[in-house]
Chain A
Amino acid sequence: MRVLAAMSGGVDSAVAAALAVDAGHDVTGVHLALSQNRQTLRSGSRGCCSVEDSHDARRVADELGIPFYVWDLADRFTEDVVDDFVAEYAAGRTPNPCLRCNEKIKFSAVLDRAMALGFDAVVTGHHARLEDGELRRSVDAAKDQSYVLGVLTPEQLAAAMFPLGSMTKDRVREIAAERGFAVAAKPDSHDICFIPDGDTRGFLARRLGSLPGPVVDAGTGQQVGEHDGTYGFTVGQRKGLGVSVGDQRPRYVLGIEPVTRTVTVGTADLAGVPAVRTGVPTWTGAVPELPFAAQVQVRAHAAPVDCRVHAGDGGGLLVEFAEEQRGVAPGQSAVLYEADPVRGDRVLGQAAVAMAVERSGAVGQ
């Protein structure tokens, strides 16, 4: 097959490209230039967006003897991922930009272009298993990235290859070292690639400016603090609330109301929610018949929990947790899994959390 390897400059995509070459495919490497103002050298924990990272990717491609190009997708990335990220925070939601990037850039803009140019598949270094069109968690639970791939459709998965899902990250590094790749010991990238200093709140403040509002305690209805912008908060957040409440009990963010810019906080006993309503779901395979039992993961590193999935309003879902969950933030994806301890939990699909269902059954933000 003619395979396009998306190469970030990190060790995972380097090994994925190498494995595609080993498998006998005709591989071409592509580095995606996503940032509009690329730095010459890497800084901090980012591992994909500097010119140095593209050189790391090119160095591996040259060792593999495969063609290598840089595709400039900075405009699309800015529009579909960065601007969306800012707009979601401005609307009081908590987006996942990696999931959005997979949905709009890697498995949309890049995949479409690859197909048009005559490629049969796109291979990436994501840690997830993909066999017979079924997307499953990586064998390396700590590195599993199936959550951010949960948004892919059967058509997108049909043209994707994830060769790393059946091995641990340690094994990936071993393979890179055996091949003499200079990136074998390159640190993992984490945080958000387009926020070079890791200061998300500062980034949003620069984009959105100061938008002060009250912090209100749910128990008393009293204002207990002020904030510079609701974008500094995520539902479930405990640290950095800047509130003083007499009873000294920890407070959690319960809700964000963007119009009045009100951040509601409350004690732990108020923070749990029994269910969430979602937007319209996407499915990785056949559309399941509702209702059904599954597991759900409500953010990138949350533990999966048992749930029951019902039809919701307007084509959305109502996901009912077996136990109350904290920190279920609107804007995050609820990724649904079918538990499978042998072959790896299978991703069924996902839907964006719209709002939590309160205990009384009334619907609140």
Chain B
Amino acid sequence: MTYLDHAATTPVLPEVLAAMTEQLGRVGNASSLHASGRAARRAAEQSRERFAEALGARPSEVLFTGGGTESDNLAVKGLFWARRESDPRRRRIVVSPAEHHAVLDSVEWLARHDGAEITWLPVEPSGRVLPHALAEALGDGSDVALVSVMWANNEIGTISDVPALADVAHEVGVPLHTDAVQAVGQVPVDFETSGADALTMTGHKLGGPMGAGALLLRRDAECTPLLHGGGQERDVRSGTLDVAAIVGLAVATVAAVGSRADRAARLAGLRDRLVDGIVAQIPDAQLNGAPLGDRVNGGPGRLPGNAHLSFPGAEGDALLMLLDARGIECSTGSACSAGVARPSHVLLATGAEADRARSSLRFSLGHTSTDADVDAVLDVIAPVVERARMAGMGRR
């Protein structure tokens, strides 16, 4: 089997499995006052400190959550509610249309049910949001509740210059949230120097467990809770701490960040060979997102493990099925719950035609990817694309 869907989820690291298994064998609620509780609390807080250090944050800025979707919801809704409460003119949310649905649907829910106004940021053909575009959208910022721009796009892998965007937002006194789910462990992410006021990350994209993530939230950021209860996590996110998950999340994050530079260089090499090999066999295949060698803010402009291509005349879900039948696992983008293939909203946001958006495939490489995985794709891609093209676009 050739697993090239690491952006969906990546295998758990062996050290994570060991640390979590050990912790799961222990009793103790981190909020209890007795010895078992204290031991659990110690494990959780030690993990918080290591986790914070790996991401350039202070331990008090770490709110552990149930994952990326919860963190995005908490940041978007929590910042919106708190900012509007302190000044009712702040009803505007400035956001990119290429965000993950956890952000988009939260923003649209606020617009439908809670009086928010959405300002859609223009997106470059590469998928990037530029600082001057944000400045223009913000105006004097007096009516803006928050900005949300993802660090790295989950479908096409394009990286935006979050520090520069945060500077622009702060010039007019507006907080910035960034969804860095795909960025952490792939590119350098330092919360302090990024300038972001809130940052979403999740564990299972970097070798940690599913259902464990964090929102990094600056100490001075006001955020209204979604979950009320025992007051854990700065009173912003109540709920008994999942100590084993937190331990696993911290071990994974420390490991992924520590080995990031070597892995990124290796994955970029594999990814480049994959893209070049595909384009050599299928000359009209189009790479979506930023060019392979693209740079932004002194670092890569594209996630090192991301290869996202369109195959004109073939339908993405036909390609996916044919590759699946040959033991190659990839994705057409972000799957929706019913599994119905829709043209990617990310590609549409970059200005791509619907047919191009519908004919795309995402290969995403990760820590277990090898040369053999690349070879496996290059061995079958030409007949698969030819077959999918025979099946046409499924439309007249």
Contact = CB atoms under 8 A, between A and B. Distances in A.
Contacts of B337: 51
B72 interface: no
A118 interface: yes
B391 A116 contact: yes
Interface in A26-51: 28, 31, 33, 38, 51
Contacts of B173: none
B interface bracket (residues with beta carbon within 8 Å of A): 20 to 34
A38 B391 CA distance: 25
A33 B317 contact: no
Interface string B297-333: 0000000000000000000011011101100000000
Contacts of A68: 339
3 A-B pairs with least C-beta separation: A116-B391, A70-B339, A51-B338
Contacts of A73: 394
A28 B395 contact: no
Contacts of B340: 33, 38, 70, 72
A109 B391 CA distance: 10
Nearest to A116: B391
A67 B394 contact: no
Nearest to B342: A72
A67 B391 contact: no
A28 B338 contact: no
Contacts of B317: 69, 71
Contacts of B52: none
Given A75-B395, A116-B392, A117-B391, A69 B322 contact: no
Interface of B: 317-318, 320-322, 324-325, 337-342, 387-388, 390-392, 394-396
Contact of A76 (B321, B342, B395): B395
A195 to B, nearest CB: 21
Interface of A: 28, 31, 33, 38, 51, 54-55, 58, 67-73, 75-76, 109, 113, 116-118
A70 B342 CA distance: 11
A109 B394 CA distance: 8
B321 A69 contact: yes
Contacts of A116: 387, 390-392
Nearest to B341: A72
A28 B325 CA distance: 9
Contact of A117 (B338, B341, B388): B388
Nearest to A53: B338
A109 B392 CA distance: 11
20 contacts: A38-B340, A51-B337, A55-B338, A58-B339, A67-B321, A67-B325, A69-B317, A69-B320, A70-B339, A70-B340, A70-B341, A76-B395, A109-B394, A113-B318, A113-B392, A113-B394, A116-B391, A116-B392, A117-B321, A117-B388
Most buried by B among A33, A70, A117: A117
A70 B338 contact: yes
A15 to B, nearest CB: 22
Nearest to B318: A117
A295 to B, nearest CB: 37
Given A33-B340, A38-B338, A71 B394 contact: yes
Contacts of B322: 117-118
Nearest to B322: A117
Given A73-B394, A117-B391, 20 more contacts: A33-B340, A51-B337, A51-B338, A54-B338, A58-B339, A67-B324, A67-B325, A68-B339, A69-B321, A69-B339, A71-B317, A72-B340, A76-B395, A116-B391, A116-B392, A117-B318, A117-B322, A117-B388, A118-B322, A118-B387
Contacts of A67: 321, 324-325
A153 B395 CA distance: 22
Contact of B339 (A54, A76, A113, A117): A54
Nearest to A109: B394
Contacts of A28: 321, 325
B111 to A, nearest CB: 20
A71 B387 CA distance: 17
Contacts of B394: 71, 73, 109, 113
Contacts of A113: 318, 391-392, 394
Contacts of B396: 76
Contacts of B390: 116-117
Q: Which of B317, B322, B339, B341 has the most chain A CB atoms inside 10 A of its CB?
A: B339
A242 to B, nearest CB: 41
Nearest to B358: A72
A55 B338 CA distance: 7
A25 B338 CA distance: 26
Contacts of B391: 113, 116-117
Contacts of A118: 322, 387
Contacts of A71: 317, 394
Nearest to B339: A70
A43 to B, nearest CB: 16
Contacts of A76: 395-396
Contacts of B392: 113, 116
A116 B392 CA distance: 8
Interface centre among B320, B325, B392 (most CB of A within 10 A): B325
A308 B341 CA distance: 49
A73 B396 CA distance: 11
Contacts of A54: 338-339
A73 B338 CA distance: 14
A54 B339 CA distance: 9
A113 B387 CA distance: 10
Contacts of A33: 338, 340
A38 B340 CA distance: 11
Nearest to A33: B340
A28 B320 CA distance: 13
B358 to A, nearest CB: 10
A73 B315 CA distance: 13
A33 to B, nearest CB: 5
